[in-house]
A = this chain, B = another copy of it.
Amino acid sequence: MINAVGRDIPDYLLVDGKEVYQGRFAKDGQILKRDAPTTVMNEKPVADKLCASIREACEKCGAHDGMTISFHHAFRNGDYTASMVCKVLVEEMGIKDLRVAATSLGDAHNLLADYIEQGIIVQVQASGVRGRIGDVISAGKLKEPAIIRSHGGRPRALMAGELHVDIAFLAAASCDKVGNASGNGGKNNCGSMGYAIPDSKYADRVVVLTDTLAPFPNVPASIKCEDVDCVVVVDEIGDPKRIGTKEARVTQDPRDLMMAERAADIIAATPWFVDGFSYQTGAGGPSLAVTRFLEERMDAKEIKMGVAFGGITGNMCDLQDRGYVRKIVDTQDFDTKAIAHLHDCPDHVEMTVSDYANPANKGAYVNYLDYMILAALEVDTKFNVNVITGSDGVVRGAPGGHPDTAAGSKCCIIVTPLVRGRMPTICKDVTTVTTPGECVDVVVTDYGTAVNPARQDIIDCMDAAGIPHVSIEELQEKAYSIVGEPDPLQWEDKVVAIVEARDGTILDVIRQIKPYTFE
């Protein structure tokens, strides 16, 4: 069946009420019955929930073949716990047919790629699958298609019972003996635990892993003792210095800076740039660079930012400390400066990823976003965006909050170079749709800016401010004139990953790439 972004979704996937994507607002107002997990009446009051080993916790929580386990990705490439736990389950306990439903996976999880190749991990559900895990998924090594969800789509799926987690293994910087856990107060802090909190609420069993046992009660706690079954103290949960990867660093590239300044000009020309505006950038370097150009425009207009949302960098904390930002509401910290700032500054507040982006509620924070600055691997002439598959068709990105913030914000601006190496970024058809074009308003490239024709209001503002713009087709043609029209990728029939829209419908599928030489 062809869906609302023109993708052909195999009928065999449309079972158990699963539907194809029908449009940005198609599911709004639909009544959803929350399907939360089983829970258990309290045991006799216990002195503590400490387990001597990960294995003991797994046994207490009833680890079994075929179960679904989850992890959060606050430590990003510095995460130690997902591999540590999988190693115990697989190598010590011989558990088979594991399903891994992490909030995101990346280079820290190459061991899991080995287990996928060995057929021990049979399914992956995540918002991102970077690194070798993406390679093995694209090579068709999973027994069941991976499910890629946005940051907001994941808590929706948890709440609706579509994603049922048997055991959540949640790394925490500090935790007391009964499970009150925090991203601060330890020897390896990650700051916001925003991604972990829904799992602590919805998983049947919850194991906290920490390297810093704190006195009871470890409050304020991001994960609460009422939700925790077991606490395991390990040597190290992760390396905070490896959170700030290249994706989250500010660019010094003059081309990136030029695009960033243009995006700032567009923001300054639109009517939501008033005192108290709300703002977020993605983790890409050019996106982060927009923020620095906003500062002088705020000065000129004598306004302040009301709130910055999302993944937070030290850069944004600086801006708050210098009085430009009233509140920071934070799902994830991208560097050690932001981690410390969350702890120290009362106007820098943690939020859960459900608060942030879940579409199945009465208004997540993304719904109140004025400006969202995002990156893209590809944008097509229908403004559809791909942030998952590379030019070789291999899964190596992460939708993250991209579809959520694009759908919720008043003005969504993509900042991306027109071409990357020999590949056009602006193209006729994206390899994979991760964000529907109807949610994307402006595309800024180093060769010009295009505005979605659906947003005549933004076009009028830019015209009034003398900001030039071209059609998206002109950008695509320019890109093809520079690097040529790319050869179409060759696919097998087999679907290796399903891309869910944030409302749970099927937005696109990713097929096995052909021919694929596995490295």
Bound state CA distance, A390 and B37, in angstroms?
41
Contact A276–B367 (Cβ < 8 Å): no
Distance (Å) between the CB of A326 and the closest chain B CB? 7
- With contacts A29-B40, A31-B40, A40-B31 known, is A365 near B217, CB below 8 A? yes
Contact A363–B179 (Cβ < 8 Å): yes
Bound state CA distance, A159 and B358, in angstroms?
21
* Residues of A33-61 contacting chain B, CB below 8 A: 33-46, 49
- With contacts A226-B354, A327-B219 known, is A42 near B359, CB below 8 A? yes
Taking residues whose C-beta sits less than 8 angstroms from the other chain, chain A's interface range is: 35 or more
Contact B276–A362 (Cβ < 8 Å): no
Contact of A41 among B29, B219, B408 (CB under 8 A): B29
Contact B49–A363 (Cβ < 8 Å): yes
Bound state CA distance, A229 and B368, in angstroms?
14
Contact B217–A327 (Cβ < 8 Å): yes
Chain B residues whose C-beta falls within 8 Å of the C-beta of A31 in the assembled complex? 38-40
Bound state CA distance, A495 and B178, in angstroms?
41
Query: At the interface, yes or no: A491 with Cβ under 8 Å from chain B?
Result: no
Contact A226–B179 (Cβ < 8 Å): no
Contact of A216 among B29, B30, B306, B355 (CB under 8 A): B306
Contact of A363 among B33, B178, B363 (CB under 8 A): B178
Q: Which residue of B lies closest to A205 (CB)?
A: B362
Chain B residues whose C-beta falls within 8 Å of the C-beta of A217 in the assembled complex? 278, 306-307, 327, 329, 365, 368
* Residues of A168-194 contacting chain B, CB below 8 A: 178-179
Interface-centre pick from A42, A326, A327, A359 (highest chain B CB count, 10 A): A42
Bound state CA distance, A179 and B363, in angstroms?
9
Bound state CA distance, A410 and B41, in angstroms?
19
Q: Which residue of B lies closest to A330 (CB)?
A: B219
- With contacts A178-B363, A215-B326, A368-B217 known, is A226 near B43, CB below 8 A? no
Query: At the interface, yes or no: A380 with Cβ under 8 Å from chain B?
Result: no
Q: Which residue of B lies closest to A40 (CB)?
A: B31
Bound state CA distance, A306 and B177, in angstroms?
14
Contact A361–B45 (Cβ < 8 Å): no
- With contacts A34-B37, A217-B307 known, is A45 near B367, CB below 8 A? yes
Contact B216–A39 (Cβ < 8 Å): no
Contact B367–A42 (Cβ < 8 Å): yes
Distance (Å) between the CB of A402 and the closest chain B CB? 16
Contact B227–A361 (Cβ < 8 Å): yes
Query: At the interface, yes or no: A228 with Cβ under 8 Å from chain B?
Result: yes
Interface-centre pick from A33, A159, A216, A363 (highest chain B CB count, 10 A): A363
Q: Which residue of B lies closest to A47 (CB)?
A: B368
A sample of 24 cross-chain residue pairs with beta-carbon separation below 8 angstroms, ordered by A number, consists of: A29-B43, A32-B39, A32-B40, A34-B36, A34-B39, A35-B36, A36-B36, A39-B159, A42-B361, A43-B363, A178-B363, A179-B363, A216-B278, A216-B307, A216-B368, A217-B278, A217-B306, A217-B365, A219-B329, A219-B351, A225-B363, A225-B364, A225-B365, A229-B362
14 extra interface residue pairs, beta carbon distance < 8 Å, beyond A34-B38, A215-B306, A217-B327: A29-B40, A29-B41, A31-B39, A32-B40, A39-B360, A40-B360, A40-B362, A178-B368, A217-B329, A219-B329, A219-B351, A225-B368, A226-B354, A228-B362
Task: Spell out A's residues near B (CB within 8 Å).
Answer: 25, 27-46, 49, 159, 178-179, 206, 215-217, 219-220, 224-229, 276, 278, 306-307, 326-327, 329, 349, 351, 354-355, 358-365, 367-368, 408, 410, 503
